[in-house]
Amino acid sequence: MNHPPKIIAVMSGKGGVGTSTITALLGAGLTKAGLLTGLLDADPVGPVIPVMFGVNQRMEQRGGKLHPSLSRDGLQIVSAGLLPEKLIDFSVEGPDKVIQAIISHGQWAPLDVLLIDMPAGFNDIHRFLFNELPVVGVVMVTSQRELDRLAIRNVMSILARRAVPILGVVENGGETECPSCSSLIRLSDREDLLAEDCEVVGCLPWTKKLAEFAREGRIEDYNHPLVFQMAVTVWENANKKD
Ligand X SMILES: Nc1ncnc2c1ncn2[C@@H]1O[C@H](COP(=O)(O)OP(=O)(O)O)[C@@H](O)[C@H]1O
Task: State the nearest-atom distance from the C-beta of 52 to ligand X, in Å.
Answer: 7
H or E element, residue 70? strand 69-70
The DSSP line for 200-213 is: EEEEEEE-HHHHHH
Decide whether 133 or 187 has the Cβ nearer to ligand X.
Answer: 187
Show contacts with Mg ion in window 20-39 (CB under 5 A).
20
List of residues contacting ligand X (CB under 6 A):
12, 15-21, 48, 172-173, 204, 206-207, 210-211, 214
Residue 137 phi/psi, 5-degree rounding, is 175, 175
Interaction of residue 12 with Mg ion, rule CB under 5 A: no
Residue 37 interacts, among ligand X, Mg ion, none and using kind-specific CB cut-offs from 5 to 8 Å, with: none
Burial (Cβ within 10 Å: 0-12, 13-18, ≥19) of residue 104: exposed
The binding track of 59-98 with respect to Mg ion, each residue x by CB under 5 A or -, is ----------------------------------------
Shortest spacing between CB 204 and ligand X, in angstroms: 5
> Can you say whether the dihedral through the CA atoms of 10, 16, 18, 21 is positive or negative?
positive
Q: Which does 173 bind (CB under 5 to 8 A by kind): Mg ion, ligand X, none?
A: ligand X
How many Å apart are CA 229 and CA 235, to the nearest integer? Answer: 10
Q: Is 19 in the site for Mg ion (CB under 5 A)?
A: yes
Find the Cα–Cα–Cα–Cα dihedral 129, 133, 137, 139, rounded to 10°: -40
Strand partners, 11: 140
Question: Cβ of residue 227: shortest distance to Mg ion, in angstroms?
Answer: 17
Element spanning 131, H or E: helix 124-132
Beta carbon nearer to ligand X, 15 or 165: 15
The SS3 call for residue 139 is strand
Q: Which does 165 bind (CB under 5 to 8 A by kind): ligand X, Mg ion, none?
A: none
Q: Which residues bind to Mg ion, rule: CB under 5 A? A: 19-20
